[in-house]
Amino acid sequence: MVCPTAKTTRRIIVLILLACWELLPRLGVIPSLFLPPLTLTAAALFSEFSVYWQHLLVTLQEVGAALFFACGGGILCGMLLGSSTRLRRLLLPVVSSAYAIPLVVLYPLFTAWFGIGMQSKVVFASVYGFLPTLLGAAAGIQTIDRSLMMTARSMGASPVQQIRYVLLPATMPTVLSSLRIGGALVIVGVVVSEMLTSTAGIGFLISRYRTMLDSPRVFAAILLVLMLAILFDLLVQFAERRFTGWKKNVPAKTFP
Amino acid sequence: MTTMTTVSARGTVQVENLTQIHRSGERTTHALDNISFTIPAGKFVSVVGPSGCGKSSLLMLLVGLAQSTSGELRVAGRPVAGPDPARIGVVFQEANLFPWLTARKNVEFPLMIRNMSVKERETKARDALELVGLDEFGDRYPHELSGGMRQRVSIARGIVQDPDVLMMDEPFAALDEQTRMVMGDELLRIWERTGKTVVFVTHSLTEAIYLSDHVLVLSARPGRIIDRIDIDLPRPRTFELTSSAEFIQIRNRIWEQIRTA
Amino acid sequence: MALFAIPDWVVRSALVVGFLAVWELGSRTGMVDPRLLPAASTVIGTALSLLETAAFRAHLWTTIAQTMAAFIIAVPVGAILGLLIAERPYASEVLKPLVFFVFSIPKSIFLPMFILAFGIGFGQKVAFGVFSAIFIMMMTAFAAVESVKREHLMVARAMGASFIQTLRSVYAPSMAPVLLEAVRLAMIFNFTGILLAEMYASRSGVGNQMGLWGQNFMIDRLLAGILIVSVLAILFNEVVRALETRLEHWR
């Protein structure tokens, strides 16, 4: 038997899945309450676009702020941890244990502390994205070849030049891959916390439409979040290709 | 032992009573003990010795990446206070190329550090790459080059500022046997064309004898110079030479010294 | 310099004790509002008395039962699916990118669909737990197959090992540590998924209780709940990690 190329088969599978999404609920195989047909979902997205857009802006603000804390803090602490053997040996086991804690249970605490506005979402998403970013950065910084610094020194590079021309480009892949890990988690963190308790944001819309049993609109909101996550990932990937194209293989690891 | 005379020629390397003691915490290591030698300008000199004898420590001192405990070190009559790539080029065991820069940009790196104009940088880098036979590979990234090619780029980077001395720390140790032979011949060709002084640290006796005018033999730690052998074999040297009676005799002599050192 | 001579576990314990001490003192001296952050000793006391109440134990049991049910389904199903795909070159080429894509998209946001489909009972929690954990299981099963070295298989074949012998002496030791890692990660994802589902819409379970305590500002209970959940998660994690280290001693 001659098999079509993997890519073709994959496309066929995706097309079949999309067709099922449309046809199964239409034919009544799956109740459309669970899976609204593709066309209805798309229609909901377009007809309600201004509402979605307004709430998306809130979500984006929260994501931006949380990204700053989670990735900024995570990358900085990760690099600190990764570059000191003693610190690494001391704290890495603690950090890995802490990674096992289901952080979701912290959210009720944050709403009690910071209210149900944007603040509690930003704090929760920052905490949610922090540890994996830190672990990623700590692992990445260890892969940097220290002899490159010595080489630069042997060519008379000043400390500032060593940082600018060697340390910065060498840490770039680590920074970007940490951003990729952290960014995905921050988006989930923000949307999930909005779903739980809030007054605005895409997650809020998801929950509101859910209580109204309006599943096309729920699904449309979910799709919007997916697009946001994928768009973010594509952006970082673009940056990775642009700035770290010199690497043999850009790591695609999304979990620690 | 050589007696010190003040030679002012560019490319002369003078080492006088050099001693180095490393201290890390409670432990002290006596790496080099009272080393003195002079290398006349334009000569090719190898340093050999048993493993861990301080060959590499000596080279780190010679290129200004480490400080000696006592003693003096002068290149062209001027003391070496720190890295000075315009006078002293360095090639390490690993090519140590910056993976995010192309071969050409790697060669330009030491020029960029000194804020040289882009145009001048490009000219010099092109000349250096041509000298090592890689003028067509300037736009490749290090991971796209073979081990031998990477080391050629590293040599080009070492000589791009036209230094008087080229210091090499086991530059071919990471290469396979055949590439190693080819690179040896390449190095001799470059050396003959540029007339630089070369200090070549290696653990391969064959390589040392094949390439050099003089071979310095270091003892086990603390490193002392136990012999200085003049290699009077005719140049240009060929592979057949390595199996000549004279070559083997020199190699046996050095091996005997290292074994009992 | 002196700090460097102290053994790691001492420094680590000191860090934990220091953290608790700062917490306790901060709350007791009123540096932080004790209504917002009750003292560490209060929280530990609350946790212990919670564990003694039958009602809370029932909620805890619900959560554990749901977690275990989802775990028992997700781990073997994910592992077998993953191994089946990774074993076949064509299937890997077609399906791995799809699985990777589904793995990398956030799954928590599908929670409302599970409620619309399954209601808010036991089945819905388990289904969502399976959904949260199964993809990491498949991804790691792929990695497990890749961890079997072709050279080792060749050596085994050259020595005339039978299929069963190869399975036992090459596949199992190579894949076991990776699969254990998968089990550990699957549990983290699964437990998080169940707790989230309970917090989002439920009538029982620890997550549901914590959501209620949060809304009613019962911060001492909330912190006690966080403590209990964290201890449970860390305990399971450390047990599996200890197993991993034992199986990985040859690496």
Give the CA distances from residue C74 to residues B251, C80, C127, C128, C182, in Å, rounded to whole numbers and listed in that order: 68, 10, 9, 10, 11
Model confidence band, residue B198 (pLDDT cutoffs 50, 70, 90): very high
Say what the ipTM of the complex is.
0.85
- Tell me the Ramachandran region of residue B76: left when phi exceeds 0, alpha when psi lies from -120 to 50, beta otherwise: left
CA distance B123 to C30: 71
Look at residue C201 in the predicted model and tell me its pLDDT. 86
Question: B96 vs A145: CB contact, 8 Å cut-off?
Answer: yes
CA distance A135 to A74: 8
Look at residue A2 in the predicted model and tell me its pLDDT. 61
Question: C199 vs A112: CB contact, 8 Å cut-off?
Answer: no
Check residues B124 and B56 and name the one with the higher pLDDT. B124
Look at residue C251 in the predicted model and tell me its pLDDT. 55
Q: Say whether residue A2 is in contact with chain C using an 8 A CB cutoff.
A: no
Mean pLDDT of chain A: 85
C246's tokens: 């034992």
Q: Is the pLDDT of residue A118 over 70?
A: yes
Look at residue A240 in the predicted model and tell me its pLDDT. 85
The residue-averaged pLDDT of B242-256 equals 90
Model confidence band, residue C1 (pLDDT cutoffs 50, 70, 90): very low
Architecture label for domain C52-247: Orthogonal Bundle (1.10)
Look at residue B1 in the predicted model and tell me its pLDDT. 36
Q: Are strands B197-201 and B44-48 parallel, antiparallel or unpaired?
A: parallel
Of the candidate ranges A74-83, B120-129, B206-215, the one whose mean pLDDT is the lowest: A74-83
> Which single residue is written with the structure tokens 């070492």?
B158
- Looking at the DSSP bridge assignments, the partners of residue B198 are B44, B166
Look at residue A197 in the predicted model and tell me its pLDDT. 87
Of the candidates C105, C106, C103, the one whose C-alpha atom is nearest the C-alpha of residue C143 is C103
Q: What does the pLDDT look like over B7-19, one tens digit per residue?
A: 346 788 888 888 8
Model confidence band, residue C4 (pLDDT cutoffs 50, 70, 90): low
Q: Is the pLDDT of residue C188 over 50?
A: yes
CA distance A105 to A103: 5
Look at residue B29 in the predicted model and tell me its pLDDT. 81
Q: What does the pLDDT look like over A159-217, one tens digit per residue?
A: 888 888 888 888 888 888 888 888 989 999 999 999 988 889 899 999 998 888 888 89
Q: What does the pLDDT look like over C111-134, one tens digit per residue?
A: 888 888 888 888 899 999 999 999
CA distance B83 to B90: 9
Q: Enumerate chain B positions whose Cβ falls within 8 A of a Cβ in A.
A: 63-65, 82-86, 90, 92, 94, 96, 98-101, 109-110, 112-114, 141-143, 157
Model confidence band, residue B177 (pLDDT cutoffs 50, 70, 90): confident
DSSP letter at B170 equals: S
Three-state SS for C49? helix
Domains of chain A: 36-244 (1.10.3720.10)
Among A143, A149, A151, the residue to mutate for chain B (most B Cβ within 10 A): A151
Question: A156 vs B110: CB contact, 8 Å cut-off?
Answer: yes
CA distance A239 to C175: 35
C239's tokens: 């047990």
Indicate the residue of A90, A209, A222 with minimum beta-carbon distance to C11.
A90
Q: Is the pLDDT of residue A250 over 70?
A: no
Mean pLDDT of chain B: 87
Check residues B211 and A156 and name the one with the higher pLDDT. B211
**Which amino acid is present at C47?**
A
The whole model's pTM is what?
A: 0.78
Contact A81, A71 (CB under 8 A): no
Indicate the residue of B84, B96, B101 with minimum beta-carbon distance to A156.
B84
Contact C35, C216 (CB under 8 A): no
Question: A156 vs B83: CB contact, 8 Å cut-off?
Answer: yes
CB contacts under 8 A, C 206-235 vs A, are 206-207, 210-211, 213-215, 217, 219, 222-223, 225-226, 229-230, 233-234
A52's tokens: 């979605």
Model confidence band, residue A247 (pLDDT cutoffs 50, 70, 90): low
Q: Is the pLDDT of residue B79 over 70?
A: yes
Look at residue C195 in the predicted model and tell me its pLDDT. 92
Q: Is the pLDDT of residue B3 over 60?
A: no
Of the candidate ranges A122-131, B78-87, C166-175, the one whose mean pLDDT is the lowest: C166-175
Look at residue A33 in the predicted model and tell me its pLDDT. 80
Which chain B residues touch A246 with a CB distance below 8 Å? 99-101, 141-143
Look at residue B152 in the predicted model and tell me its pLDDT. 92
Q: Say whether residue C237 is in contact with chain A using an 8 A CB cutoff.
A: yes
Kindly write down the DSSP assignment for every residue of C99-162, as one continuous string: HHHHHHS-SGGGHHHHHHHHTTSHHHHHHHHHHHHHHHHHHHHHHHHHTS-HHHHHHHHHTT--
Look at residue B9 in the predicted model and tell me its pLDDT. 66
> To the nearest whole percent, how much of chain B has pLDDT over 90?
32
> Which single residue is written with the structure tokens 């790459």?
B129
- The most confident of the ranges A60-64, B75-79, B173-177 is A60-64
User: Please, what sign has the CA dihedral across residues C120, C124, C125, C131?
Assistant: negative
Contact B28, B21 (CB under 8 A): yes
> Which single residue is written with the structure tokens 């209210």?
A115
The residue extents of the domains of chain C are 52-247
Model confidence band, residue C67 (pLDDT cutoffs 50, 70, 90): very high
CA distance A202 to A52: 7
> Which single residue is written with the structure tokens 């039958």?
C54
**Which amino acid is present at B186?**
E
Q: Is the pLDDT of residue B110 over 60?
A: yes
- Tell me the Ramachandran region of residue B200: left when phi exceeds 0, alpha when psi lies from -120 to 50, beta otherwise: beta
Q: Is the pLDDT of residue A249 over 70?
A: no
Model confidence band, residue A255 (pLDDT cutoffs 50, 70, 90): very low
How many other C-beta atoms are found inside a 10 Å radius of the C-beta of residue B85?
A: 24
Look at residue A1 in the predicted model and tell me its pLDDT. 53
Indicate the residue of C97, C110, C112 with minimum beta-carbon distance to A207.
C112
Instruction: Kindly report the backbone phi and psi dihedral angles of residue C13, in degrees, each rounded to the nearest multiple of 5, phi listed first.
Output: -65, -40
Contact B64, B86 (CB under 8 A): no
Of the candidate ranges B143-152, B164-173, C85-94, C148-157, the one whose mean pLDDT is the lowest: C148-157
CA distance A116 to C92: 45
Contact C233, C191 (CB under 8 A): yes
CA distance A100 to C136: 15
Look at residue C70 in the predicted model and tell me its pLDDT. 93
**Which amino acid is present at B148?**
G
Q: Is the pLDDT of residue B4 over 50?
A: no
The residue-averaged pLDDT of B227-252 equals 89
How far A128 CA lies from chain C's nearest CA (Å)? 12
The residue-averaged pLDDT of C189-209 equals 90
